[in-house]
Structure 1
Amino acid sequence: MDELAAFNRSRWNALAKARIQYSRPHLDMNEKGAQEYLNKNLGFSHEPMPEIAGKDVFCLASGGGQQTAVFGILGANVTVLDLSDTQLERDREAATHHGYDLTAVHGDMRDLSSFADNNFDIVFHAYSINFVPDAAMVIKQVGRIVRPGGIYRLTFSNPFWTMEETDWTEKGYPLRQPYITGQQLQETDTEWTFEDDHGNPQKVAGPHEFMHTFSAIFNGLIAANFRITGFREWPEGDGNADPGTWEHLLSVLPPFMSVTAVSIK
């Protein structure tokens, strides 16, 4: 484990122990809720929604007991890899609660060499690729382990998202960082502020994050023999909100991008 992995592992363990929203397993989810989640998070593809039951699904760097619960409830054979031990504990908690089998692997998304070629029907990659500097390296490995015709769903940060709502200047929100793929983002505040599952305020130092340009993501997918089938920008904000507020900033620039792609190798 290199310095970056060790640092981000410690940060995500701390965030998970503080019960950040990404580390709250879906213990109350039922089959209807799981299908609704998929309709929202895969339904923007122009391909038909795949049948999930019996599929081999890989939740890549997606620990926390949320995505794995969705696929497990719907009858998939679920494998999850994550750098955080605590996040994987949440996945095991959800699997035990709902009664589905789960393969949980502690590891780094930059090294998928332990997985065989053509091993998965679906790779679901929740927001995490921005925690490593080389997106193409990860995407290339996904292209190897997904089966021909298999689906890769990837979420990444909008590369123009380099501002905060407090940066409002009466004219707009200025870009603060160069548009360079792989560059570490220089945050003005390295601590993540959030409420835990009991509503208590928490402030925990976050992991290192890196910019990935649109060309890095989409050319990486093309080079790995993926055909892009859908693209989504989210969440939506409120254009009528007061400038300098979170909802107004979201209406100007959504922070997250999700793409679906099909392997054509």
Structure 2
Amino acid sequence: MDTMNHNQKAWDKKVENGSAYTKAASKEIIEKSMLGDLQITVTTKRLVPRNWLPASLDGLKVLCLASGGGQQGPILAAAGAEVTVYDLSRKQLEQDEMVAKRDGLKLRTIQGNMSDLHAFEDETFDLIVHPVSNVFVEDVRPVWKEAARVLKDKGVMISGFTNPLLFIFDDEEERKGNLSVTQSIPFSTLDGLSEEEIVEYITKNETIEFGHTLEDQIQGQIDAGFIIAGFYEDDFGGNRILDKYIKTFVATRAIKGKVE
């Protein structure tokens, strides 16, 4: 099936339903960024360390990759960056456009698949910000390769992604407080479902998710031409039982270039 087309519609629905990842940054957060207090996330709650970003963002060419929703893009634009927000969901991009209009910001929005950045020439951007979103593509390695292609030499990519451990447990049971291992990695939401169950799931218009190996997430970046220069973890949040035992989200800071 066409996973990208399905997830596009599912994310449009999430915007309509007011999902947390579709809620735009407040005017107060934008004003803080304008005054130099720049705060963004690429995981759930933990802020990206300020020293992961340049001291000044004035004129910096930034790609917010699969990052619609009116969050990272407008905040970085408020700090002076020249921002392009690239996302599969048209309604997510409309959130960025709404904030830009509301707060007098300049940014560009383009609808597209994170695995295919043909809209951009080689070495276009100084910085890529890629919050947790590659969970929605079946193969993450093309995302890293395309990111490396459009990033300038010594450019920085800040990414958030899911620890695959999250996906080995039955989701419904975990929400009840029970840890029951039922899945293997790599993982797809549709794994193990009958044809009838897949049709039922698709009809609900829920996102199809994929659990990638840590090798594909981390070594995949290295193979694409990045040096991993920063790393931290974050909780799932929302009173999930796994937070008692392990952090299930990861952020990396990667620099395009060879080890000298």
CA distance in 2, matches of 1:50, 1:229: 17
1:205 is displaced (CA, Å) by 4.1
CA distance in 2, matches of 1:107, 1:144: 16
**2:175 touches 2:240 (CA, 8 Å); kept in 1?**
no
Pick from 113, 116, 119: which aligns with 1:111?
116
Aligned counterpart, 1:262: 255
Aligned letter for 1:103?
A: R
1:176 is displaced (CA, Å) by 2.1
Aligned counterpart, 2:214: 214
1:179 is displaced (CA, Å) by 2.1
1:51 is displaced (CA, Å) by 2.2
Aligned counterpart, 1:37: 39
TM-score, structure 1 as length reference: 0.81
Please give the secondary structure, in 2, of the residue aligned with 1:139.
Answer: helix
Distance change >3 Å, CA 79–CA 27, structure 1 → 2: same
Point out where structure 1 has 5 or more consecutive residues left out of the alignment: 191-203, 238-244
**Relative to structure 2, which stretch is displaced further, 29-38 or 77-86?**
29-38
Aligned letter for 1:178?
A: S
Aligned counterpart, 1:228: 228
Structure 1 position 84 matched with structure 2 position 89: yes
Point out where structure 2 has 5 or more consecutive residues left out of the alignment: 199-203
Q: CA RMSD in A?
A: 2.6
Distance change >3 Å, CA 264–CA 50, structure 1 → 2: farther
CA distance in 2, matches of 1:218, 1:60: 17
Matches within 5 A, 1:146-225: 146-162=151-167, 163=169, 164=171, 165-166=174-175, 168-169=177-178, 173-180=179-186, 183-186=187-190, 205-225=205-225
Q: Give the structure with the higher percent helix.
A: 2
Please give the secondary structure, in 2, of the residue aligned with 1:54.
Answer: coil
Aligned counterpart, 1:200: none
Distance change >3 Å, CA 208–CA 248, structure 1 → 2: closer
Please give the secondary structure, in 1, of the residue aligned with 2:188.
Answer: coil
**2:136 touches 2:210 (CA, 8 Å); kept in 1?**
yes
Structure 1 segments of 4+ aligned residues over 6 angstroms from their partners: 187-190
Aligned counterpart, 1:134: 139
Between the two proteins, the alignment pairs up a number of residues equal to 238
CA distance in 2, matches of 1:57, 1:22: 20
CA distance in 1, matches of 2:240, 2:146: 37
TM-score, structure 2 as length reference: 0.82
Distance change >3 Å, CA 252–CA 11, structure 1 → 2: same
Aligned counterpart, 2:72: 67
